[in-house]
Amino acid sequence: MNEQYMNAAPLLQINDLCKRYPGMGSYMSVFHMNLTIPRGRIIGLLGPNGCGKTTLIKMINGLLAPTSGTVYINGMFPGAQSKRVISYLPERTYLDNGMKVRQMVDYFGDFYEDFSKEKAYSMLESLGISPEARLKTLSKGTKEKVQLILVMSRNAELYILDEPIAGVDPAARDYILRTIITNYNPNSTIILSTHLISDIENVLDDVIFMKNGSLMLYTSVDAIRDQQNKSVDAYFREVYAC
């Protein structure tokens, strides 16, 4: 592929990562996590609510300082350089309500070198969202779609999508999955965090199971199906059975 990737460090490397929130006593939201993620994969980050998925994602994005341990993106700590190559979709709606959709597109175009306005406008059109609409007039679901479009219109190296399909209708969900698939390229990796596994498991290469802040399992979807003779969803239910 590209020259610069030939000898490069892994896309994402996490070493002995821990996070304890202030005021939470000795409870660790992420506990001694080790993980190395290569390029060119679509990975599901799975686990029940409160297992530390979002905390982990925030630390990768530099939104939260680890208590101990390290996160490396292309061999570097989270910072301006890593934010240039990570495209992140948080659970929250972060759009400025006073702005128009078009202004948001301009904003992304101004700050991210890898952002394609053409791509954004064509996706907006196919979902029937007017660029002239003011964000405060849009429903929560539509805002989430706008946000996803902005994030997927970047040509990033690492996409981190936190619960992208949780709140959307089935048609939009199919569109999102199709977008993820058509956006796929061998240089970039997509990490999808979700608890709705059956909806997305056909799209995934690998799955990461988290439990109580720790890594339980990191394997390929086909390996689970080969060895367990059951779907990832069924296996997940078994692993996390209460």
Partner 1 sequence: MLGKLMKYEWRGLRLPLLIMLGILGGTTLLTCAIIFTINPKMDNVSAGFSTMSLVLCILLYYFGIIGCSVGTMLIIAIRFYKTTYTDQGYLTHTLPVTSTTLLAAKTITAVLCYLAMLAGIFATIMIILGAIYIHVSNLSGYDKVYIDRMVGEVLSEMSMSFREDYGISLGGFITFYTVFMIIACISSIMIILGCVSLGQLYTKHRIIGAIIAYFAIVSVQQVISYIAMLPTYSKMLRAEALSETIPMFEVISPTMIISLLWAVVVSVIMHIINLHMMTKRLNLE
Partner 2 sequence: MAWELNSDRPIYAQILEKLQVRIVCGTYKPGEWLPSVRDLAAEASVNPNTMQRAFTELERSGLVITQRNMGRVVTQDVQLIEAAKHRMAVTQMNSFFENMRQLGYSDGEIISLVNQTANTADNTNT
Residues that bind partner 1 (CB under 8 A): 21-23, 58, 61-65, 79-81, 83-84, 86, 88, 90, 92-96, 98, 107, 110-112
Q: How far is the CB of 117 from partner 1 (least distance, A)?
A: 16
Which positions from 45 through 64 interact with partner 2, judged by CB under 8 A? none
The residue among 68 and 198 lying less far from partner 2, judged by its C-beta, is: 198
Which entry of partner 2, partner 1, none binds 112, CB below 5 to 8 A by partner kind? partner 1
Q: How far is the CB of 233 from partner 2 (least distance, A)?
A: 7
The residue among 101 and 200 lying less far from partner 2, judged by its C-beta, is: 200
Backbone angles phi, psi at 205, to 5 degrees: -85, -55
The residue among 6 and 80 lying less far from partner 1, judged by its C-beta, is: 80
Q: How far is the CB of 217 from partner 2 (least distance, A)?
A: 17
The residue among 33 and 43 lying less far from partner 2, judged by its C-beta, is: 43
What is the 3 state secondary structure string of the chain? CCHHHCCCCCCEEEEEEEECCCCCCCCCCEEEEEEEECCCCEEEEECCCCCCHHHHHHHHCCCCCCCEEEEEECCECCCHHHHHHEEEECCCCCCCCCCEHHHHHHHHHHHCCCECHHHHHHHHHHCCCCCCCEHHHCCHHHHHHHHHHHHHCECCCEEEEECCCCCCCHHHHHHHHHHHHHHCCCCCEEEEEECCHHHHHHHCCEEEEEECCEEEEEEEHHHHHHHHCCCHHHHHHHHCCC
Which entry of partner 1, partner 2, none binds 65, CB below 5 to 8 A by partner kind? partner 1
DSSP-derived pairing of the beta strands 30-37 and 12-19: antiparallel
Question: 126 is written with which tokens?
Answer: 């196919």
- Window 172-211: contact mask with partner 2 (x via CB under 8 A): --x--xx--xx-x-------------x--xxxxx------
The 10 Å Cβ neighbour count of residue 80 is 8
Q: Is 24 in the site for partner 2 (CB under 8 A)?
A: no
Which entry of partner 1, partner 2, none binds 62, CB below 5 to 8 A by partner kind? partner 1
Q: How far is the CB of 99 from partner 1 (least distance, A)?
A: 9
Please choose, out of 5-13, 18-26, 73-81, 217-225, the segment that lies near partner 2 by the rule CB under 8 A. 217-225
CA angle 141, 153, 57 (to 5 degrees): 70
- Residue numbers of the site for partner 2 (CB under 8 A)? 40-42, 174, 177-178, 181-182, 184, 198, 201-205, 221-222, 225-226, 229-231, 233-234
